[in-house]
Chain A
Amino acid sequence: MKKEIKKLDEVTIRFAGDSGDGMQLTGSQFSDTTALFGNDLITLPDYPAEIRAPAGTLYGVSGFQLRFSSQDTNTPGDHPDVLVAMNPAALKKNQKDLLPGATIIVNQDAFDLRNIRSAGYNVNPLEDNSLDGFKLFKIPISSLTANALADSSLTVKEVARCKNFFALGLMYWMFNRPLEPTLKWINKKFKKVPALAEANTKVLNAGYYYGENTEIFETRYTVSPANLPKGTYRNISGNEALALGCVTASLKSGVPLFLGSYPITPASEILHQLSTYKNFGVKTFQAEDEIAGITSAIGASFGGYLALTTTSGPGMALKTEALGLAVMTELPLVIINVQRGGPSTGLPTKTEQSDLLQAFYGRNGEAPIPVIAASTPGNCFEMAFEAFRISTKYMTPVILLSDGYIANGAEPWLIPDESSIPELSVKFRTEKEGFAPYMRDENLARPWVVPGTPGLEHRIGGLEKANITGNVSHDPDNHHMMCELRAKKVKNIENDIPETEVFGEEKGDILVLGWGGTYGAIRDAVIRAQKEGLSVSQVHLHHINPFPKNLGNILKNFKKIIVPELNLGQLSKILRIEFLIPVESFCKVKGLPFTAVEIYSKISSMSGGKK
């Protein structure tokens, strides 16, 4: 039976099922294979806060979306072309994101009365015509999996757990992907349990050949490799890239890395990653709490390490007082905040950008701290390196903002040429002559002198310091001057960061100004608007405190400035204060990233259809 092969430019697939169904694994396997195949792609895992919520419930649904393309890809897609729903709850939760005509593949076996009720359906949605308008494929995935493993020694439970590989195999067939990368992965993963390796291999094949041999599917699709720049690639998530960037800063400076951290979603992955890099000299310390995470890092920094602490919103709140200590002691320290939905415990597994004002202002006293933000999973690598560059050069804590969306999302990453990464020059003062703890260099940075340096014994601390000597001082004029000095030191960093670039015309009707993980959605929206002839440009900020020096002038060149943010307008507030200009805030605080369409629609309505 010869099946038709249709060529597509891009496809968005969402795998959805119970949180125990292995959807994250299925999605990441599909992503890895697709990357190896040569497509550009972006992924969006979306999982519940509960590890294993009661089976079949809406709040237990875990999803993994990816968009792969023969073109440059900036977002994981607005609307899935294909939804794989492993149970009724997965269907119910995700159907609203589909456009008419989308393909739905369901595990028909899971649509029993209990699951249908758990999902909140009154009648079986597969039988009441509510899915008319979609291409619905009802596949008994559980029983087909069981059939494939009829001879296996596995328990019924173990057999049931293999069903995600059936779905994966079927998707590989449908989108013309090779099985080999996943087969290789299975053999490696289950090396010590051959029965499981064999079972998953069988089921993966069964899914693939089900597509090939049954008459249910008439068409398969292919998406040609993207025209990516030459070089060697790997898939990388934002959290992986942060870990890599930090270790790279350590290797390029010759100064070992110390991480003090307390586990917190969605930042823990950085701790996991860094704890494997022992032969890179990385010391990781899983502290008793968030406060010990940052204060241990301050101790390590005093000892001459590149010091890092990683956290998310609630943890950031706990670190606040220690941030002030790092400001006052003028020690280098990098604080990574992988933002999630807040306030309080908020939405632990969902993305948000609502800690910007906290990063800017969230301390007692006049306590300026440079703030930078990563825009894509791959960009996390550069920003981690940049954080350490600023931190060590200016002897200051630096806050690096990421978010749950780019932390868990992944994309192909062009591995940089090692020689293209600059050396990080770090000086430890050992010279006794003329030393004073709070003397300053041309960058207003004080000297970094580590314990063990003979003759340079000195004390630092959280009490106000006398200029130069660093002795405790309550002198009013000294305090005023020190506050100004610390502010000036941070402000001066604007002379040492790249000017921001305008995507599109330098002058025009609308500037879309963003920061952080909204980059991809904004870029796609702006491209679309530009193609339609709208006068729209994009600026995306990586340095937020201080701002790039040319930002003020850029802002003057546009009639309207729109600032999309996953908060209630935090950057907008800062821009209004800093530049005294009107900006229009475009907010979304739903725990979800922007879709490109949302931003495009906003641009379109603001331009009033004027071309």
Chain B
Amino acid sequence: MTTNTEIKYTAKDFASDQDVRWCPGCGDYSILAQVQRTFPDIGVPKEKIVIISGIGCSSRFTYYMDTFGMHGIHGRAPAIAGGLKIARPDLSVWVAAGDGDLLSIGGNHFIHTCRKNIDLKILLFNNRIYGLTKGQYSPTSEKGKITKSSPYGSVDYPFNPLSLALGAGATFIARSIDRNPKHMQEMIKKAADHKGTSFVEIFQNCNIFNDGAYDHLSSKDTKDDAVLVLEHGKPMIFGSQRNKGIILNGTKPQVVNIDEGNYSINDILVHSETDDNPFLSYLLTYLSENPDYPTPIGVFRNVLRPTCDEEIQNQINYITEVNGKGTLKELFHNTTTWTVE
């Protein structure tokens, strides 16, 4: 990625001339705003940024950004973006996708993009519902959810997107919330800075078909006790009084109070994004499965591995160095030949 110090962008420079057509009150507006506010600071000239999307409300994102972009077909954004990034490692390639798009119809491309560590920045707009098709349960909807296609409650278990990404080998995994703009900007910036597949799950409210799905994580009264903000190298402390923390009891996480005398701040787990062993990250992705435990946001994992796109380019460079640049003559004569006089 080239750093461009000459041109100073503002958020406005990243807004296209198209009218934004999401429903008023949709969480997507916040994501669009935070991306536009962050992009001036990621150090990439705007012509080198490409946003690829699939199908769904969130996938209209592409049209609203004044960068290069392709609004693809359902679920295929990571594959389109992967091909582009492999062809053009000089570009900063982003994927905007919803939960149905990325995890249901596009699940295969998503896990393999993570596995191959293609240097893509994937933003998951997770509203836990199908919006554009008007309200069916999605692969992240909770079991028992009543929707148009599940009038007696959905019988499916939901995906845990972060542990799915982790299991697939993603090298950067983070989570944020639409109603926490500052935090989201920080996550977008960190995703941009990471070299390798960056996956950011953004809890996004669909005020039409799944309103309030994340209220407890964003309303003033509850959020401090419901959200654990992860910070690298810092103890996992949360709560309105900042007196609750996570300890490890054997292999089980446990919420304790450090004001009650049994535990001190020194007993609290310290977060590390960069552990080679993904155990801690796994544990955190499952933390909120227990309704009494907080939902972590922040960077869960951030490790470096060579990327697919750079390794493909490296092979080309190496073989070209060893064999010289290929010519037509070499191409045609790369096997036994004979001459008819």
Q: Is A457 an interface residue (CB 8 A)?
A: yes
Given A244-B332, A258-B83, CB of A462 within 8 Å of CB of B340 = no
| Cβ-neighbour of A288 out of B81, B112, B322, B331 (below 8 A) | B112
Q: Which of B45, B80, B85 contacts A298 (CB 8 A)?
A: B80
A298-328, CB < 8 A from B: 298-300, 302-305, 307, 321-322, 324-325
B189 within 8 A of partner (CB): no
Chain A residues with CB under 8 Å of B255's CB are: none
CA distance A279 to B52 in the complex (A): 30
Give min CB distance, A389 to chain B, whole Å: 16
Q: Residue on A with the closest CB to B46?
A: A457
Interface residue ranges of A445-463 to B (CB < 8 Å): 450-463
* Binary A-proximity of B31-69 (CB < 8 A = 1, otherwise 0): 000000000000001111110110100000011011111
Q: Are B88 and A461 in contact (CB under 8 A)?
A: no
B220 to A: closest C-beta gap in Å: 38
With A299-B87, A461-B71 in contact, do A455 and B82 touch (Cβ < 8 Å)? no
Q: Is A235 an interface residue (CB 8 A)?
A: yes
Verify A462–B90 contact, CB threshold 8 A. no
Q: How far is the CB of A329 from chain B (nearest CB, A)?
A: 7
B87 touches A291 (CB 8 A): no
CA distance A362 to B163 in the complex (A): 38
Residues of B close to A456: CB separation below 8 A: 47
Interface contact B63-A459, CB-CB below 8 Å:
yes
B87 touches A279 (CB 8 A): no
Contact mask for chain A residues 317-358; partner B; CB cutoff 8 A; 1 contact, 0 none: 000011011000100000000000000000000000000000
Q: For the complex, what is the distance from the CA of A304 to the CA of B48, rounded to whole Å?
A: 13
Q: Name the contact of A280 in the complex, choosing from B68, B69, B331, B340 (C-beta under 8 A).
A: B331
Query: Is A197 interfacial (CB 8 A cutoff)?
Result: no
Contact count band on B: 35 or more
Given A38-B340, A451-B47, A452-B91, verify A260-B331 contact (CB < 8 Å). Answer: no
A415 contacts the other chain (CB 8 A): yes
Q: A281-B320, A285-B86, A458-B68 are in contact. Are A296 and B50 (CB under 8 A)?
A: no
Would you call A200 an interface residue if the criterion is a C-beta within 8 Å of the partner chain's C-beta atoms? no
In the complex, how many residues of chain A place their beta carbon closer than 8 angstroms to a beta carbon of chain B?
69
* A459 adjacent to B333 (CB under 8 Å): no
| A32, A321, A451 pick with most chain B CB within 10 angstroms | A451
* A277 contacts chain B at the CB level, 8 A cutoff: yes
In the complex, the answer to whether A461 meets B62 with C-beta atoms within 8 Å is: yes
Given known pairs A233-B338, A278-B320, A289-B108, the reply for A452 and B329 (CB within 8 Å) is: no
B323 within 8 A of A: yes
Q: Which of B312-341 contact A (CB under 8 A)?
A: 312, 315-316, 318-320, 322-329, 331-333, 335-341
Query: Bound state CA distance, A251 and B76, in angstroms?
Result: 30
Closest to B7 in A: A454
Confirm or deny: B258 has a beta carbon within 8 angstroms of a beta carbon on chain A: no
A247 within 8 A of B: yes
Complex formed: what's the CA distance from A268 to B84 in Å? 22
Within 256-286 of A, Cβ neighbours of B (below 8 Å) are at 256, 258, 260, 277-283, 285
Q: Residue of A at shortest CB range from B111?
A: A288
**A36 on the B face (CB < 8 A):** yes
Answer yes or no: A416 CB below 8 A from chain B CBs.
yes
Chain A residues with CB under 8 A of B336: 32, 36, 181, 234-235
Cβ proximity bits A569-586 to B, threshold 8 Å, 1 near / 0 not? 000000000000000000
List, in ascending order, chain A residues with CB within 8 A of B82's CB. 285, 292, 296, 299
* B325 contact set on A, CB distance < 8 A: 279-281
Task: Check B47–A457 contact: CB distance below 8 A.
Answer: yes
B102 in the interface (beta carbon within 8 A): no
Contact of B337 among A232, A279, A303 (CB under 8 A): A232
Asked whether A459 lies within 8 Å of B71 as measured between CB atoms, the reply is yes
Selected from A247, A300, A450, the residue in CB contact (under 8 A) with B86 is A300
Which residues of chain A have C-beta atoms less than 8 A from B83's C-beta? 258, 260, 285, 295-300, 303, 307
CA distance A233 to B335 in the complex (A): 10
CB 8 Å contact bits of A414-441 with B (1 = contact, 0 = none): 0110100100000000000000000000
Bound together, the chains give a CA A229 to CA B340 distance in angstroms of 7
Report if B135 contacts A (CB, 8 A). Answer: no
The docked-state distance in angstroms from the alpha carbon of A517 to that of B326 is 31
**List of A residues within 8 angstroms of B69 by Cβ:** 458-461
| A232 to B333 alpha-carbon distance, docked (Å) | 9
Specify which of B322, B329, B340 is in contact with A233 (CB 8 Å cutoff). B340
In contact, A454 and B71 (Cβ under 8 angstroms): no
With most chain B CB atoms within 10 A of its CB, the pick from A283, A416, A457 is A457
A-B contact pairs, 8 of them (CB 8 A): A233-B338, A244-B331, A258-B83, A291-B79, A292-B112, A295-B80, A451-B68, A462-B71
Residues of B within 8 A of A (CB): 16, 18, 45-50, 52-53, 55, 62-63, 65-73, 76, 79-88, 90-91, 108-109, 112, 312, 315-316, 318-320, 322-329, 331-333, 335-341
Besides the contacts A279-B319, A454-B47, what 20 more A-B pairs have beta carbons closer than 8 Å?
A36-B336, A229-B340, A233-B338, A244-B332, A258-B86, A278-B318, A283-B316, A287-B79, A289-B108, A295-B73, A299-B87, A302-B70, A303-B83, A325-B73, A329-B70, A457-B47, A457-B68, A458-B68, A463-B71, A471-B18
